[in-house]
Amino acid sequence: MKILTAYFSHSGENYFAGKIINIEEGNTSIVAKKIAAITGSELFEIKRAAPYPIAYRDCVKEAVEELKAAARPALAENKDVAGYDAVILCYPNWCGTMPTPVFAFLERGAFAGKRIFPLCTNEGSGLGSSGRDIKRLCPDAEVAAGLSVKGGNARDCDKDLAAWLKKNGLKS
């Protein structure tokens, strides 16, 4: 099976356990790289053409405005998913769902007949409505039950990742 691990992540100021701290690498990036190493899948970063602000409050303000407007921002690069059987889709929970660049990635891709495995990093809000949103955007894809990873545990989630990947037939 040919697998793509596609992810969106944000570095800079992030929310952790009630505090805003500065991080060099986003939690979702850390988890996606672990998945690619475990599965041997290709790694693709979903990036907005115009990066989000580094400051947490400015980033949240912009993300909320985009979500309210149902914006689909330009991406730095598009990825053709035609040659893949499965896509492990990793993203943080922003405003109760996926960041709008992930919506744009899904709407621009040909996901019919693909298996999509959602993974959402968050600080306690779980996957929110992202699973339903993925199913709505990709009605002809098989969307598996997602995995919620607490962002603060991104570096130490190997056992949970391995179990989820094995359960879904993505790792032996």
pLDDT tens per residue across span 35-75: 999 999 999 999 999 999 999 999 999 999 999 999 999 99
Residues of the chain with pLDDT > 70: what percent? 99
pLDDT of residue 65: 97
Distance in angstroms (rounded) separating the CA atoms of residues 78 and 31: 21
Q: Residue 42 in contact with residue 83, Cβ under 8 Å?
A: no
Residues of the chain with pLDDT > 90: what percent? 92
pLDDT tens per residue across span 85-106: 999 999 999 999 999 999 999 9
Q: Report the CATH number of the 3-166 domain.
A: 3.40.50.360
The residue with tokens 């979500």 is 67
Domain edges within the chain = 3-166
pLDDT reading at 124 higher than 90? no
Cα angle 138, 42, 96; round to 5: 45
pLDDT reading at 172 higher than 80? no
pLDDT of residue 87: 98
DSSP string covering the chain? --EEEEE----EEEEETTEEEEESS-HHHHHHHHHHHHHT-EEEE--BSSPPPSSHHHHHHHHHHHHHTT--PPBS-----TT-SEEEEEEE-BTTB--HHHHHHHHHS--TT-EEEEEEEESS-TTTTHHHHHHHH-TTSEEPPPEEEEGGGGGG-HHHHHHHHHHTTS--
pLDDT of residue 84: 97
Residue 159 half-sphere exposure, CB side, CA atoms within 13 Å?
2
Distance in angstroms (rounded) separating the CA atoms of residues 159 and 140: 31
Phi-psi region of 166 (alpha: psi -120 to 50; beta: other; left: phi over 0): alpha
pLDDT of residue 69: 97
pLDDT tens per residue across span 138-171: 999 999 999 999 988 999 999 999 999 999 999 8
